[in-house]
Chains A and B, each alone.
Chain A
Amino acid sequence: MTADWTDGEPRIVVSVCAACGHRWYLRRAQCPNCGGSVSSTTSAGVGTVVAVTSGERGAIALVDLVDGVRVLGRCGSSLRPGSAVRLRFQAGADDPVAVPFFEAESS
């Protein structure tokens, strides 16, 4: 199991099934599609916004990464569905670890 941002390492790890090629984000000990063994890859952190909201606890986005997984993260308030985004990590005052934060791809 490769350490990721939830362990304090600022990266998103994508799990890949060695047997069937299924890719997922939420950590599991085996493939939910076939039970196969897990290998992992580090996301390049590039993707497209699927949905965005802003509430009392700040703006958050659901992002489809080009690595083939959907990820929840915080974001800037200017993003819209369809926006191209890039991943960085940011820790607020109450956060024990830096969490995914998506900002507009400057390109």
Chain B
Amino acid sequence: MAWIRGAGLTAFGRLPGRDALGWQATAATLAMADAGTRPRDVDGLIVGYATTLDHLMPANLLAEYLGITPAVALGAAVGGATGVAMVVQAVALVDSGAASTVLVVAGEDRASGQSTQTSTATLAQVGHRRYEVPIGATVPQYYALLASAYLHEHGLTPGDGLAPLAVAMRAHAARHDGAQFRTPVTAADVRASRPVADPLNLLDCCPVSDGGAAVVVSATAGGGRAVEIVGTGQAHLHQHISEADMHEFGARVSAGRALARAGVRIGEVDVFGIYDSFTITLALLLEELGLARPGGAGAAASEGRFDLDGPIPVNPHGGLLSYGHCGVGGGMAHLVEIVTQLRGESGGRQVARARQGLVHADGGVMSAHVTAVLRAARGAT
């Protein structure tokens, strides 16, 4: 049994002034302060990769910077799923007794620390080095291919099948002052935005951001603000798009494992944090998780089903699409938001009676899948 004792999330955006280590340290300090944990109390440290840092030993680098001398230190890389995957490993360390207080950190100056061209070229390396990268595809193009197949299969247009998801995420971000983009948009705005990779336009794609996120995972709750991690699961069924099963990417398997371990049915979850690097990512994940019918995610968003007062609140912070995406920290922001919701500390974006939450992240081209089911300690008997 493991608990999230503290969580930290910086504002995201184009925010020059810190490098990757600076964002990691900022987020780590926020999380430790929130948990009431001192650096000397941390005996496990897990740190996600940062493309602008490109260091072989990210956990050791941050440990030295913060004056932490952990018993266990580990760098991690499973793409966008890294943040949630690190928390899963923190739970395993705590459950095994290898560590009692694990600090999990991500942060990067992904927007201001490199050129857009460098960022695009680095991320495109998730393609197969021999058979896909030479074709010249970018990450937006890989997801655009998934969108092309999806819209064709379900007879949808981008305007009805995908754009409503961007609209919903932006409406959420408007309530969070840390979000990169807060001005409401319409489906027409999404379709009128600059084409990036047909059928995806600019507003179908998350921005590149600077920022950081961190949590403290502990063997003990230590108070009513703790959030229990009641079940975790993963699935890793392919790496490259040419070997992906487009009707079984891994989300269903991963979430099924996490929910079974938690002893929770998905209908009993009150609030969701679902990875949303592109509108198509969110559509595919919502449908594979069973939160929308096949081909129905866009329509469900139009109907308000993912709103704060809807039956399936998704990404109340605005998700990657509008809160922003600083790499590993972007995928951890969903987790921090769900922790904040379950604590009842989300203020004007609080989901009523949020007691159980589910976070799901994917990395690569719908390649790595990791799920965590969380439960509020408050009100527990």
Contact = CB atoms under 8 A, between A and B. Distances in A.
Interface of A: 6, 24-27, 50-58, 60-62, 69-74, 80-82, 95-97, 99-100
29 contacts: A6-B131, A25-B131, A25-B242, A50-B246, A51-B147, A51-B148, A52-B198, A53-B144, A53-B148, A53-B197, A53-B199, A53-B200, A54-B198, A55-B141, A57-B138, A58-B136, A60-B137, A61-B145, A62-B149, A62-B242, A69-B242, A70-B242, A71-B131, A72-B127, A72-B135, A74-B136, A81-B149, A81-B152, A99-B135
Contacts of A6: 130-131, 134
B145 A100 contact: no
A70 B238 CA distance: 13
Nearest to B133: A72
Given A53-B200, A81-B152, 13 more contacts: A25-B131, A26-B130, A26-B242, A27-B131, A50-B149, A51-B145, A51-B147, A53-B144, A57-B138, A60-B136, A61-B145, A62-B145, A74-B135
Q: 3 tightest A-B contacts by CB?
A: A53-B144, A81-B152, A55-B197
Contact of B135 (A24, A50, A100): A100
B148 A81 contact: yes
Contacts of B130: 6, 26-27
Interface of A is mostly: strand
Interface in B133-165: 134-138, 140-141, 144-149, 152
Contacts of A62: 145, 149, 241-242
B152 A51 contact: yes
A84 B193 CA distance: 31
Interface string B217-248: 00000000000000000000000111100100
B145 to A, nearest CB: 4
A55 B131 contact: no
Contact of B144 (A55, A70, A73, A80): A55
Given A53-B198, A62-B149, A71 B242 contact: yes
B196 interface: yes
Contacts of B132: 72
A26 B198 CA distance: 26
A96 B133 CA distance: 12
B243 A24 contact: yes
B128 interface: yes
Given A25-B131, A27-B130, A55 B138 contact: yes
Contacts of A53: 141, 144-145, 147-148, 197-200
B149 A26 contact: no
Contacts of B127: 72
A1 B130 CA distance: 14
A73 B136 CA distance: 9
Interface string B73-116: 00000000000000000000000000000000000000000000
Interface in B158-174: none
B122 to A, nearest CB: 15
Nearest to B243: A26
Contacts of B197: 53-56
Residue of A53, A58, A61, A96 contacting most chain B CB atoms (<10 Å)? A53
A51 B159 CA distance: 18
Nearest to B240: A26
Given A26-B240, A72-B242, A57 B141 contact: yes
B145 A52 contact: yes
Contacts of A80: 152
Nearest to A70: B242
Contacts of B240: 26
